[in-house]
Structure 1
Amino acid sequence: MTKTLKCISPIDGSVFAERPVLSRAEADGVVAKARAAQAGWAARPLAERIRLVLDGVAAVGAMNDEVVPELAHMMGRPVRYGGEFRGFNERASHMAEIAEDALAPIAVGEDATFKRYIKRVPHGVVFVVAPWNYPYMTAINTVAPALIAGNTVILKHATQTLLVGERMARAFQSVGVPEDVFQNVFLDHDTTTDLIGAGAFDFVNFTGSVGGGQAMERAAAGTFTGLGLELGGKDPGYVMEDADLDAAVETLIDAAMFNTGQCCCGIERIYVVEPLFDAFVEKAVALVKGYKLGNPLDPETTLGPMASPRFAAEVRAQIAGAVQAGATAHIPTMAEDDGAAYLTPQILTGVTHDMSVMRDESFGPVVGIMPVKDDAEAIALMNDSDYGLTASLWTADVARAERVGDRIETGTVFLNRADYLDPGLCWTGCKNTGRGGGLSVIGYHNLTRPKSYHLKKVTG
């Protein structure tokens, strides 16, 4: 019997989509096609590759009316938010804009005797394993620059967003990207592991859980395959005395709750200086009480279900554990909370770092808020984490923010904003958040390898 992958809709628990997985032999065939096509793709002029990628991006955008409700069915995001095309397009467009400079040879020196330079050359076949929470934007982070740089791409999407890779590959192929250059695959874990262990790919980019990243490293051990790993976070916000309080509340709470808290760079813990603490909490609670939990297909819904009852159960367990240990939950259970995927968003005070809700990734609509005395205490608490993706600072004093930022163990420091991926900056992290970096010039460096040329001229 053929094994299939099933997307179970969080809306009602029904099977929304189902696809058969490839056998190992079929998967080997996909890789062989990608490898055979790569040299020809890389030989095309850079301008042509850029044009085809941007045309593919536009073709995805043309599908948006279908994509938005499809995402609601697959992972629960309310249709009122309109999908991901704005960020999808922004990221691809920026990478296209900087490609010529980012991929240009580095001139080391030339005189009458020698010419020396370093070229950036594609790895070959790039395997992208994309997550379900922002399925289009996370995938394009690697797909666009990898193709522009001359790699071929094989995309494997999370089962929860089973149709995304299929749509992307169809869109790109419809504008002239050769089928073997950008392929979507449906694979089970065993076949994925076997392919990586066999050295089938020249670079693997994975976005997902710490456990998933560890599995990727184990599979690649000894193959010398390059890995890019973004494995989530426990991102902090810190509100200082001179912060714009209303803006801080609005932005940090939105960053904690948007997409039902299912954001790798969402805010999961907030530290507020003591003089502002009570006011911050009062405003935050009022904001969250105004949310409408419900069916994501309803335009009035502001908070949809979590992608799976299993994920919601973990968040419920964190909240219950915190309350049992002395924390206060400020949001009464909402009528739409079904004890499964539909989960009441929660604000907790009286929390400590002894509680899992302040230490383990929640990836759901809950945030703990703690008072702090000063920068030193806030920095110590922000760094008291196994993760390091982003940190959001709130102050009118840019120099102070830079001083605090220099002491935080994180990949990105935000000032007076949060939960945004600027494609001009490297998207990276430290500690259990993973390694490598996407987007920016550095993203191109990670999707290519340096090749040095030391050319001695014949002078007579």
Structure 2
Amino acid sequence: MTQMIRCISPVDGEVYAERPALSISQAGDAVASATVAQLAWATRPLSERVALVKAGVEKLGEMNEQIVEELAWQMGRPVRYGGEFGGVKERAFHMAYIAAEALAPIEIERNSRSRRFIKRVPHGVVLVVAPWNYPYLTAINTVAPALIAGNAVLLKTASQTLLAGEHLVKAFTEAGIPADLFQNVFLTHDTTSRLIAARAFDFVNFTGSVSGGKAMEQAAAGTFTGLGLELGGKDPGYVMEDADLDKAVDTLIDGAMFNSGQCCCGIERIYVVASLFDRFVEKAVAIVSQYKLGNPLQQETTLGPMAHKRFADLVREQTAEAVQAGARALIDPALFPDQHDAYLMPQILVDVDHSMRVMREESFGPVVGIMKVKDDAEAIALMNDSDYGLTASLWTSDFDRAERIADQIETGTVFMNRCDYLDPALCWTGCKDTGRGGGLSAIGYHNLTRPKSYYMRSL
């Protein structure tokens, strides 16, 4: 009996879309056809691969109006924010722009008697497992450079955003990418694990939970399959006494609440120097109190439902536990009378500490704890007191001070006076339970290829 993969819409709790999962045999056929297509694709000139990938991105842009509405139904993001295409194009086009330099051979020696050089060659077939919170943005981080580098790609999107992979593949195929080269596959967790264990893929890039990353590692154990893992986060912000207070509040609170807090690098905890603490909290409460929670298909909605009721229930549990342990919730529930199921009001907590789950475990929802700190040393210790390490946001007018602090923070990226942004020119990476590997930038190409050395001489 064929297993169906279903998307339950957080808007109304009904089935929005469903697709049949591939059997292990069907999935194996997809891998086999991709393997054949990759051999021919890798021989095409780099300039052709770049042009076709860029054309595919432009085709995707033509679908944006439909995609934005579908995302609202599938995972709850309000239509007023316009979807993900701007970031998709920025990232893909940057990787296209740097491809020739990033993939260029490293010349050691070249003369009439000897040639020594290192090429970057594609892995072969790459599996991309994309999450539901930003299905297009997270997928394109690997899809674009993997194809440009000469790989074939199989894309598995989350059930919560079931339709995203279909649109991506349709756009790229219509642009001229060979159909077998880039395929959207509907796979169960078991089938995915079995394929990885059977060495079906030459590289796997996974974005998702820590438990999901562990499952990927367990499936790949003993296969020597390369893995790129971006997992959980608990990203901090630190506001120093010389910060621009208004900009710090606006940016950090937006970073905590945008997309109902469901951002990979969203702000989940904020540390504020004592002299600014009260004013920061007052301004933050004023901002959050103005949010409009409701149907994401309505233009006036600024905060849609979380992607699933169980995600909202986890945040409710963390918040209630914190309040029971002494935290104070500052946002009045009366301002958000329509919260139910996946619809969750935003919340700001003070009088929090690191004994509380809401300050240590990933929340991935519209709640943020704010703590008062006395100095840089205390802030650094608290920021590092986490199992995760994706990004941190520092607010100061002093570049040197920010860099000194940044050097001591255990994280993949440090921002100064901004947050919740992915710069495609920089390596997107993490440490600790956030994962391993790196995407985008020239380093992203290094992870999607392998070095191959050539030593040739004349006799």
**What TM-score range do you get, normalising by the shorter chain?**
over 0.9
Q: Secondary structure at the residue paired with 1:414?
A: strand
Structure 1 residue 339: Cα displacement: 3.1
1: CA distance, partners of 2:376 / 2:113: 57
- Residue matched to 1:91: 91
Distance, in Å, in 2 between the alignment partners of 1:21 and 1:376 is: 51
Per the TM alignment, residue 114 of structure 1 is displaced from its structure 2 partner at its CA by: 2.3
> Cα 1:202–1:403, aligned 2, differ >3 Å: closer, same or farther?
same
User: Does the Cα contact within 8 Å between 1:131 and 1:157 map onto a contact in 2?
Assistant: yes
Q: Say whether 1:71 aligns with 2:82.
A: no
Q: How far off its partner does 1:108 sit? A: 1.6
Distance in 2 separating the partners of 1:428 and 1:457: 43
Shift of 1:340: 1.4
Whether 1:185 aligns to 2:185 is yes
Aligned match of 1:12:
12
Aligned to 1:454: 455
Cα drift, residue 438 of structure 1: 0.2
Alpha-carbon distance between aligned partners in 1 of 2:303 and 2:285, rounded to the nearest angstrom: 15
Shift of 1:112: 5.0
Q: How many residues align?
A: 458
For the aligned residue pairs, the C-alpha RMSD in angstroms reads: 0.7
Q: Which residue of 2 aligns with 1:143?
A: 143
Map Cα deviations across residues 319-353 of structure 1 (whole Å, 9 max, x no partner).
00000000000011143443310001000000000
Indicate the residue corresponding to 1:110 in structure 2: 110
**What one-letter code is carried by the residue in structure 2 that aligns with 1:403?**
R
TM, length-normalised to structure 2 = 0.99
Q: The residue matched to 2:18 in structure 1 has which SS?
A: strand
2:388 aligned partner: 387
8 Å CA contact 1:153–1:183 kept in 2: the answer is: yes
Partner of 1:242: 242
Q: In 2, distance between residues paired with 1:337 and 1:228?
A: 40
Q: Does the CA-based 8 Å contact 1:88-1:137 persist in structure 2?
A: yes
Distance (Å, rounded) in 1 between the aligned partners of 2:318 and 2:285: 19
Which residue pairs with 2:34 in the alignment?
34
Rounded Cα–Cα distance in structure 1 between residues aligned with 2:340 and 2:302 = 19
- Distance in 2 (CA, whole Å) between partners of 1:132 and 1:456 is 52
State the SS of the aligned residue for 1:12.
Answer: coil
SS of residue paired to 2:248: helix
SS in 2 for 1:270: strand
Give the aligned partner of residue 444 of structure 1.
445
Sequence identity (%): 72
How far 1:284 moved relative to its partner? Answer: 0.2
Pairing of 1:274-289 with structure 2 (within 5 A): 274-289=274-289
**Structure 1 letter corresponding to 2:247:** A
Matches within 5 A, 1:5-404: 5-333=5-333, 334-404=335-405
Q: Does the residue aligned with 1:6 lie in a helix, a strand or coil?
A: strand
- Measured in 1, the distance between the counterparts of 2:227 and 2:406 equals 27
Partner letter of residue 303 of structure 1?
A: L
| Counterpart Cα distance in 2 of 1:280 and 1:335 | 22
Letter in 2 for 1:168: L
- Name 2:427's counterpart in structure 1: 426
Q: Which amino acid aligns with 1:257?
A: M
Using the TM superposition, give the Cα deviation of residue 110 of structure 1 relative to its aligned residue in structure 2, in angstroms.
3.1
Which residue identity does 1:420 align to in structure 2? Answer: Y
Q: Give TM-score, length-normalised by structure 1.
A: 0.99
**Counterpart amino acid of residue 274 in structure 1:** A
Q: Supply the distance in 2 between the matched residues of 1:110 and 1:45 (Cα, whole angstroms).
A: 22
Counterpart residue type for residue 455 of structure 2: H
Letter in 1 for 2:349: L
Instruction: Tell me how far apart the structure 1 counterparts of residues 347 and 94 of structure 2 sit (CA, whole Å).
Output: 36
Letter in 2 for 1:184: N
1:19 maps to a residue whose letter is R
Which moves more between the two structures, 107-116 or 148-157? 107-116
Separation of aligned partners in 1, 2:202 and 2:300: 46
Deviations 1:133-174 (A, max 9, x none): 001000000000000000000000000000000110011001
* Partner-residue secondary structure (3-state), 2:50: helix
AA of the residue aligned to 2:360: R
**Cα distance in structure 1, aligned partners of 2:71 and 2:340:** 22
| Counterparts in 2 of 1:285 and 1:335: CA distance versus 1, 3 Å | closer
| Paired letter, 1:392 | S
Measure how far apart 1:111 and its partner are. 4.4
Whether 1:417 aligns to 2:418 is yes
Pick which of 7-16 and 110-119 moved more: 110-119
Look up the equivalent residue of 1:328 and give its one-letter code: R
For 1:453, the aligned partner's letter is Y
SS in 1 for 2:451: strand
- SS of equivalent to 1:396: coil
Secondary structure of the corresponding residue to residue 243 of structure 1: coil
Instruction: Tell me if structure 2 keeps the 8 A contact 1:293–1:336.
Output: no
Which deviates more from structure 2 when the two are superposed, residues 225-234 or residues 328-337? 328-337
Q: Check conservation: 2:339, 2:345, Cα contact below 8 A.
A: no
Other structure's SS at 2:42 match: helix
Mapped contact 1:232–1:265 kept (Cα < 8 A): no
Structure 1: give runs of 5+ residues left out of the alignment: none
Q: Secondary structure at the match of 1:154?
A: strand
The Cα shift of 1:375 comes to: 0.4
Which stretch of the first structure deviates more once superposed, 331-340 or 133-142? 331-340
Counterpart-to-counterpart distance in 2, 1:295 and 1:331: 20
CA distance in 1, matches of 2:381, 2:124: 43
C-alpha contact 2:208 2:230 (8 A) present in aligned 1:
yes
Q: Is the 8 A contact 2:71 2:161 kept in 1?
A: yes
Tell me the amino acid that sits aligned with residue 322 of structure 1: A
Distance 2:281 2:91 in 1: 34
- Please list every run of 5 or more consecutive structure 2 residues that lacks an aligned counterpart in the other structure: none
Alpha carbons of structure 1 residues 123 and 3: separation in structure 2 relative to 1, 3 Å: same
Tell me the CA shift for residue 266 of structure 1.
0.2
**What is the alpha-carbon distance in structure 2 between the residues aligned to residue 337 and residue 402 of structure 1?**
44
SS for the counterpart of 2:5 is strand
Q: Confirm or deny: 8 A CA contact 1:336 1:342 kept in the other structure.
A: no
Following superposition, which runs of at least 4 residues in structure 1 exceed 4 angstroms of deviation?
Answer: none
- Secondary structure class of the residue paired with 1:43: coil
